[in-house]
Structure 1
Amino acid sequence: MKPKRYNQEFKTNNCRVYRSGTSVSDLNREYGVSEVTIYKWIKALSPVEGSDGLSPTEIAEIQKENLRLQQEVEILKKAMTIFAKK
C-alpha cells in the first residue's frame, strides 16, 4: 500500500490550525493524519529561534543553495588560474 502524499498547502494549513489552539489529537480525528506526521509537519514548518523566522526546511534549502554557489566559485577560481597561465 502506498503512503498518502499531502501537498504543502495542506501541511501548512494543519500547522496553522494547530497554532490557533487545536490539539494534535483533534487534527488527527478531523483530517485522518497520524499524530506523528502532524508533529513532524509542525517541527518542519516552525521557525527556528535566531533565524529571522525561517523554518528548518527553508534553512536546509538555503544551505543547499549556498553549497552550490560555493562549488561554482571554486570552479571559476580554477578556470581563472588555467586562463591566467595562457
Structure 2
Amino acid sequence: MSLTVYVSSVSSSTELKKHQQKITMVLDGKRIPYTIADIASSEDAKHEMKTAAGADSLPPQIVNDGIYCGDFFAFDEAVESETLNEFLRLS
C-alpha cells in the first residue's frame, strides 16, 4: 500500500488548509501510513495528481498505489459513514 495525499502548502484558502489538516489528522489518528505530496513545490506531484484526479482537480486529493480514491468531500463522507478502509482501498 502506498497512500498519497496531494496537498498545497501555498494557499490563501483557510477552507483548503482545514480540509488538508482534517485528512492528515484522521489518518494519523487511525495510524494509517501515508505520504504527503506537495503540488506547490513539485511539478511532478502536480502532474501525478492531475493525471489521477482529473485536469481540473484541486487539492487535497487521495491516491492509493496509483488508483484514485477521491477528494476531501468523498473522504469526509467515508469517515462519517464508517467506510474509510473501503474508500482508501485498504481492505
Q: Give the TM-score range, shorter chain.
A: under 0.3
Larger radius of gyration: 1
Relative to total residues, which structure has the larger strand share, 1 or 2?
2
Task: Name the TM-score, length of structure 2 as normaliser.
Answer: 0.24
Relative to total residues, which structure has the larger helix share, 1 or 2?
1
Tell me: higher relative CO, structure 1 or 2? Use CA pairs within 8 A at least 6 residues apart. Answer: 2
